[in-house]
Structure 1
Amino acid sequence: MFIQTEDTPNPASMKFLPGQPVLGEGKMGMDFPSRDSAAMAPMAEALFDIDGVDSIFLGADFVTVTKTDGTEWHHIKPAILGTIADYLTAGLPVLSEGAETKDLTAGSPDQYEGETKEIVEQIIELINTRVRPAVANDGGDIIFHRFEEDTGLVYLTMRGACAGCPSSTITLKNGIENLLKHYVPEVNAVEAVM
């Protein structure tokens, strides 16, 4: 199995593309910021066994690994490649039975009414069609949390390589905020939720 690797804007994260589904299309990525959080994901647990792995993000067709400070990629990259290849080639489960990926948003338009619900639906549609694919190209994901009608604030969470990326604030403010403000005039600003 050939696994392509890509650098991400976050120098501590690398994207691994095995050329086949990891979670599968239409499924939201899963973020594992620690070994304890990976209890329902055998492949993520195995990746955490590699000394120097700090966090893991599983996408539809990629795996993003973030390394610890002081760890060099050339020391851990071969073990990461081997672990991913072993799991996918052998057909081992990436997730344990019963583990589920969540909906594409943490916040739902059903929490809102009337015109505000329509605004939230527009925001979520823009995130899913314009923002999420671009962020996935960089080895990450973005989650909509909520919209505050009275302030015009949109709250989002960056995950995967984007979570600790030095340029994530620029992405949120100059990219996503400008896009949402352009298409949804009720949006005044975008804020990150940790």
Structure 2
Amino acid sequence: MFIETETTPNPASMKFLPGRQVMPAGTREFADPEAAEASPLAQALFDTGEVTGVFFGGDFISVTAGPGADWTMLKPQVVSVLLDHFISGAPLFAGGGASGIAVPPESELVVESDPEDADIVDQINELLETRIRPAVANDGGDIVYRGYRDGIVHLQMQGACAGCPSSTATLKHGIEGLLKHYIPEITEVRAA
């Protein structure tokens, strides 16, 4: 088995491509060791001591290193953990499931949408799925809808995109421009 690696726009993150499916559906982010307890693979990556974030995409894993971490030393450790996991056939999640989360539960929404805006919310989600999420996944991350009200869309960047220095520009200039172009009711996009 060979695991490819790619740099991301976020210098603290690297994208690892195992050449097989990671998540059957959705994505999953682990922002700390406590959250990683749900996944033996994420936990093993945090156990290296230098990992501060793990993100599972459909066919990739993004790993974020802490300040001062040296990717020339950390990268072989991460590849070793990934090889051990995929070669062993171990489950991705404790209990053997593949619990991906693509859309947050209502309790994680930043703002509740007005029921009269259901068509706008559907359009937002359609554009996120078809145009935005694939592009963000190429950079080792994901973007999650967190609500819409009064012309303002709330989105959360995840994975390599979460701490990326260019994420604000991506959100404001790229994503906001695209959403405003297709949905004139949108006046602003904010990070959640």
Q: Which residue of 2 aligns with 1:126?
A: 127
Partner letter of residue 163 of structure 2?
G
Gaps of 5+ in 2: none
Amino acid at match of 2:26: M
Secondary structure at the aligned position of 1:159 is classed as strand
Q: Name the residue aligned to 1:164.
A: 163
TM-score, normalization: structure 2?
A: 0.92
Q: Which runs of 4+ in 1 moved over 4 A?
A: 105-108
SS at match of 1:71: coil
In 1, the alpha carbon distance for the partners of 2:16 and 2:98 equals 22
In the superposition, the TM-score normalised over structure 1's length comes to 0.92
The SS at the match of 1:22 is: coil
CA distance in 2, matches of 1:155, 1:84: 33
Identical residues among aligned pairs (%): 49
What's the C-alpha RMSD, in Å, of the aligned pairs? 1.6
Give the length in aligned residue pairs: 187
Give the Å deviation of 1:103: 4.0
Deviations for 1:110-146, whole angstroms, at most 9, x for unmatched residues? 96434x1001100010011100000000000000011
**Is the Cα–Cα contact under 8 Å of residues 140 and 161 in structure 2 kept in the other structure?**
yes
* Residue in 2 that maps onto 1:3: 3
What secondary structure sits across from 2:49 in the alignment? coil
2:146 alignment counterpart: 145
2: CA distance between counterparts of 1:44 and 1:170?
Answer: 29
Specify the alignment match of 1:155 in structure 2: 154
Q: 2:94 aligns with which of 87, 93, 96?
A: 96
Q: What is residue 81 of structure 1 aligned with on the other side?
A: 79
Gaps of 5+ in 1: none
Aligned pair 1:176/2:178, yes or no? no
